[in-house]
Amino acid sequence: MKAITAVIKPHKLEDVRAALETFGVAGMTVTEASGYGRQKGHTEVYRGAEYEVDLVPKVRLEVVVEDGDATEVVDVIVKAAQTGKIGDGKVWVVPVETIVRVRTGEVDGDAL
Amino acid sequence: MKAITAVIKPHKLEDVRAALETFGVAGMTVTEASGYGRQKGHTEVYRGAEYEVDLVPKVRLEVVVEDGDATEVVDVIVKAAQTGKIGDGKVWVVPVETIVRVRTGEVDGDAL
Amino acid sequence: MKAITAVIKPHKLEDVRAALETFGVAGMTVTEASGYGRQKGHTEVYRGAEYEVDLVPKVRLEVVVEDGDATEVVDVIVKAAQTGKIGDGKVWVVPVETIVRVRTGEVDGDAL
Ligand SMILES: Nc1ncnc2c1ncn2[C@@H]1O[C@H](COP(=O)(O)OP(=O)(O)OP(=O)(O)O)[C@@H](O)[C@H]1O
Ligand SMILES: Nc1ncnc2c1ncn2[C@@H]1O[C@H](COP(=O)(O)OP(=O)(O)OP(=O)(O)O)[C@@H](O)[C@H]1O
Ligand SMILES: Nc1ncnc2c1ncn2[C@@H]1O[C@H](COP(=O)(O)OP(=O)(O)OP(=O)(O)O)[C@@H](O)[C@H]1O
Ligand SMILES: [Mg+2]
Ligand SMILES: [Mg+2]
Ligand SMILES: [Mg+2]
pLDDT digits (tens, 9 = 90+) for B27-83: 999 999 999 766 555 565 666 665 555 688 999 999 999 999 999 999 999 999 999
Q: For position C50, what pLDDT does the model report?
A: 57
β pairing state of A56-65 and C56-65: unpaired
DSSP letter at A36 equals E
> Distance, CA A96 to ligand 1 centroid (Å)?
23
Closest-CA residue of B relative to A27 is B37
Cβ-Cβ contacts under 8 Å, C101 against chain A: 88, 90
In sequence order, the 6+-apart residues with CB closer than 8 A to the CB of A3 are A62, A63, A64, A93, A94, A95, A96, B5, B92, B94
CA B109 to chain centre: 21
Ordered by start, the domain boundaries in chain B are: 2-111
Burial of A61 (0-12, 13-18, 19+ CB in 10 A): buried
Would the pLDDT of A52 be above 90? no
Stretch among A100-104, B19-23, B66-70 having the lowest mean pLDDT: B19-23
Ligand 3 atom nearest to CA at B62? 4
Q: What is the pLDDT of residue B56?
A: 86
- List beta partners, residue C57: C34
Asked whether the predicted pLDDT for residue C42 surpasses 60, the reply is no
Higher confidence at residue C51 or residue A95? A95
Judged by CB atoms closer than 8 Å, whether chains meet at B94 and A95 is answered as yes
Instruction: Please name the member of A2, A84, A92 whose beta carbon is closest to the beta carbon of C64.
Output: A92
A34-48, C57-71, C93-107: lowest mean pLDDT where? A34-48
- Specify the range with the lowest mean pLDDT, choosing from A58-72, B11-25, C34-48, C72-86: C34-48
Q: B25 to chain C, minimum CA–CA distance in Å?
A: 9
Global ipTM: 0.93
Q: How many C-beta atoms surround the C-beta of residue B94 within 10 A? A: 23
B16 CA distance to ligand 6 centroid (A)? 19
Interface of B with C in 14-43 (CB under 8 A): 17, 21, 26-32
Give the residue, C48 or C96, on which the prediction is more confident. Answer: C96
Residues of B in contact with A26 (CB under 8 A): 37-38
Tell me the C-alpha to C-alpha distance, in Å, between residue B9 and each of B6, B88, C64.
Answer: 10, 6, 29
Q: Is A76 in a helix, a strand, or coil? A: helix
CA of A110 to the centre of ligand 3 (A): 33
Largest CA distance in chain A: 48
Q: Which fold has domain A2-111?
A: Alpha-Beta Plaits (3.30.70)
Contact C88 B103 (CB under 8 A): yes
Residue C92 burial by Cβ neighbours in a 10 Å radius (0-12, 13-18, 19+): buried
Q: Which residue has the higher pLDDT, C52 or A107?
A: A107
